[in-house]
Chains A and B, each alone.
Chain A
Amino acid sequence: MSKRRILVVDDEPDLTLLLRLNLERTGNYEVREENGGSLALPAAREFRPDVIVIDIMMPDMEGTDAAALIKDDPLVGDTPIIFLTAVVSREEARQTMGAHRIIAKPVLMDELVQVIEQEIARKG
């Protein structure tokens, strides 16, 4: 089976590097890193990921806004999106994230992998 493609977007390059290293070492994923919300849509159109993991609070463009752009895109609009957030108000999460999954940082890799697999399975 070919590797799943994961697009990881966070303004912290160290974090995207480590997420890439950890996801790639499972042998199941091919990962592309981007370090700004505004780069998410162009990267998604080019890379055609199976899942997008994206931070919410980024200086250039919020993850939620980037996700809205992606959702409206005819090419990649149906890509499952997993939000990462450093602010863990569950209440806020419930209100603003709609159908998307939201995970509080820091997340254990096992948990992240589990959510990624669930999202891939859900999309079918």
Chain B
Amino acid sequence: MGVAERKPRSDRPSPVEAQAPVAFTVEDDRVSSMLLGRVLKHGGFEFQQFGNGDDMLAALDQCVPDVVCLDLGLPGRSGLEVLEAIRAEQPLLPVVILTGSTEVDDVVTAMHMGAYDYLSKPLDTKKLLTTLGNAIELGRTKRALEHSESMMVENAKAKSLRVIAAGIAHEVKNPLAIILHSLEYLSAQEIAEDETSARVLKCSQSAVLRADSIVRGLIDLSSGGKLTLEIGDLNHVIDQTLLLLRFELDQGRVRVNKQLDPALSALPIDERQIGQVLLNLIMNAVHAMPDGGTVTITTFEGEVSERTTETLWPGDRVAVIEIRDTGSGLSEDAIDHLFDPFFTTKAPGEGTGLGLPVSRKIIEQHRGELQLRNGAQGGVVATIRLKLGDDQ
């Protein structure tokens, strides 16, 4: 039984814990099945009944119940084989064995294979409901435990990544500094009077700065990154960022079309970090238009209509920033990988592949969301949505 092969439970719809418990029953005898159904209904269960194991296993792919009642003497695939398949697929799903008096050896085997308990037919109604209730309770406890274990693993991973990134920063940045200062020293010497040598020195220097920007990006991506939140005005941050980028915009022959909502509510933000995100997104737009073009920056307030992330819910009021370019848009492959660290569509040396993952992290820390898509009129549309408080 390979735990690694198991599909994550969260991939499939499963009954909400507060609702009625859900049971699957596998029983080939119609009368027994009907009686079982009656007891389950009486006990407040929702249930699906199957006459053989294969049908139940197929249904298990669509929905995971809280408990399975499994008859051992089944036609086709035997009860033990079905149990084995359930254990492989859903190791935390409790299985209660229903058995006739002739199947003692099989019952022992089933218990060894991890069945929760067994009940002999004819079934005692009260005992059946109690056993199922206990089995469900155990299953839920196991799932909660597994969830908190996986959260602990994730936290530990994030923590060790931070430690590694800080270590890399220190160990790599000192040598980078030494190389950079050496190149700067040589650039002031006679050797740099030769045009080719001067160019070689310049190439080395920009390579060092590139390596440095990757290390910085890694640190930004891995750091716990506490935000300094103050009530701020997004329109103001946009104006400040555009001021910083005047040179790049001019040089890229990029026109800026601002459509900022003057009535946009102020909200708690870390202006420097949001500025960093805007800078990344606007520079992406500039790079996406090598022959020049227009960046349209729009702000407005709106309401979330559908749930697309963990943080925003339908009905939430949000401040929205949209940044559109008039470039050639993104390929489907690019859209799938935009937020993967080190993925870049830019020319070698132009992008670190960390701008978007870092930007998304910053926005998520603000309990907002960042999305990129191709616009209806071409180009890329980057959308930032930040939740507005209830009093705004």
- Chain A residues packing against B (C-beta within 8 Å): 12, 14-15, 18-19, 21-22, 25, 57, 86-91, 94, 104-109
CB of B373, distance to nearest CB on chain A (Å): 31
On whether the beta carbons of B184 and A14 are closer than 8 Å, the reply is no
Neighbouring A residues of B209 by C-beta, 8 Å: 106
On whether the beta carbons of A106 and B180 are closer than 8 Å, the reply is yes
CB of B301, distance to nearest CB on chain A (Å): 30
On whether the beta carbons of B181 and A57 are closer than 8 Å, the reply is no
Neighbouring A residues of B176 by C-beta, 8 Å: 105-106
Closest chain A residue, CB of each to CB of B227: A91
Neighbouring A residues of B180 by C-beta, 8 Å: 106, 108
Neighbouring B residues of A105 by C-beta, 8 Å: 173-174, 176-177
3 closest Cβ pairs, A-B complex: A18-B181, A106-B177, A86-B173
Neighbouring A residues of B223 by C-beta, 8 Å: 89, 91
On whether the beta carbons of A12 and B185 are closer than 8 Å, the reply is no
What are 23 of the A-B contact pairs (CB < 8 Å)? A15-B174, A15-B177, A15-B181, A18-B182, A18-B185, A19-B181, A22-B184, A86-B177, A87-B169, A87-B170, A87-B173, A88-B216, A89-B219, A89-B223, A91-B225, A91-B226, A91-B228, A104-B173, A105-B177, A106-B177, A106-B181, A106-B212, A108-B184
Neighbouring A residues of B208 by C-beta, 8 Å: 106
Closest chain B residue, CB of each to CB of A112: B181
The complex places the Cα of A109 from the Cα of B170 at a distance, in Å, of: 20
On whether the beta carbons of B170 and A12 are closer than 8 Å, the reply is no
Closest chain B residue, CB of each to CB of A12: B174
A sample of 14 more A-B contacts (CB under 8 A), given A22-B181, A57-B170, A87-B166, is A14-B178, A15-B177, A19-B181, A21-B181, A22-B188, A25-B185, A86-B169, A86-B174, A87-B169, A88-B173, A88-B219, A91-B228, A106-B173, A106-B208
Neighbouring A residues of B182 by C-beta, 8 Å: 18
Per the CB 8 Å criterion, the residue count for chain B at the interface is 25
CB of A99, distance to nearest CB on chain B (Å): 18
- Residue interface bits B214-233, CB-to-A below 8 A is 1, else 0: 00100100010110100000
The complex places the Cα of A14 from the Cα of B185 at a distance, in Å, of: 13
The complex places the Cα of A14 from the Cα of B208 at a distance, in Å, of: 17
On whether the beta carbons of A87 and B184 are closer than 8 Å, the reply is no
Number of A-B pairs whose CB atoms are under 8 Å?
A: 63
The complex places the Cα of A105 from the Cα of B216 at a distance, in Å, of: 10
The complex places the Cα of A87 from the Cα of B166 at a distance, in Å, of: 6
Interface centre among A15, A18, A25 (most CB of B within 10 A): A18
Closest chain B residue, CB of each to CB of A26: B188
| Residue from B169, B185, B216, B228 in contact with A22 in the complex, judged by beta carbons closer than 8 Å | B185
On whether the beta carbons of A87 and B219 are closer than 8 Å, the reply is yes
**Known contacts A86-B170, A87-B169; A18/B178 CB under 8 A:** yes
On whether the beta carbons of B177 and A107 are closer than 8 Å, the reply is yes
Closest chain B residue, CB of each to CB of A106: B177
The complex places the Cα of A57 from the Cα of B167 at a distance, in Å, of: 12
The complex places the Cα of A109 from the Cα of B184 at a distance, in Å, of: 8
Neighbouring B residues of A15 by C-beta, 8 Å: 174, 177-178, 181
Closest chain A residue, CB of each to CB of B170: A86
The complex places the Cα of A9 from the Cα of B296 at a distance, in Å, of: 48
Closest chain B residue, CB of each to CB of A21: B185
On whether the beta carbons of B181 and A109 are closer than 8 Å, the reply is yes
CB of B191, distance to nearest CB on chain A (Å): 14
Neighbouring A residues of B166 by C-beta, 8 Å: 87
Which residues, 335 to 353 on B, are CB-close (under 8 Å) to A?
A: none
The complex places the Cα of A14 from the Cα of B175 at a distance, in Å, of: 9
The complex places the Cα of A12 from the Cα of B177 at a distance, in Å, of: 11
Neighbouring A residues of B179 by C-beta, 8 Å: 106
The complex places the Cα of A12 from the Cα of B182 at a distance, in Å, of: 14
Neighbouring A residues of B216 by C-beta, 8 Å: 88, 104
CB of B111, distance to nearest CB on chain A (Å): 55
The complex places the Cα of A2 from the Cα of B315 at a distance, in Å, of: 68
The complex places the Cα of A105 from the Cα of B174 at a distance, in Å, of: 7
Neighbouring B residues of A94 by C-beta, 8 Å: 228
Neighbouring B residues of A87 by C-beta, 8 Å: 166, 169-170, 173, 219
Neighbouring A residues of B228 by C-beta, 8 Å: 91, 94
CB of B209, distance to nearest CB on chain A (Å): 8
CB of A109, distance to nearest CB on chain B (Å): 5
CB of B127, distance to nearest CB on chain A (Å): 60
Which residues, 155 to 211 on B, are CB-close (under 8 Å) to A?
A: 166, 169-170, 173-174, 176-182, 184-185, 188, 208-209
Closest chain B residue, CB of each to CB of A84: B177
CB of A17, distance to nearest CB on chain B (Å): 9
Neighbouring A residues of B226 by C-beta, 8 Å: 91
Closest chain B residue, CB of each to CB of A107: B177
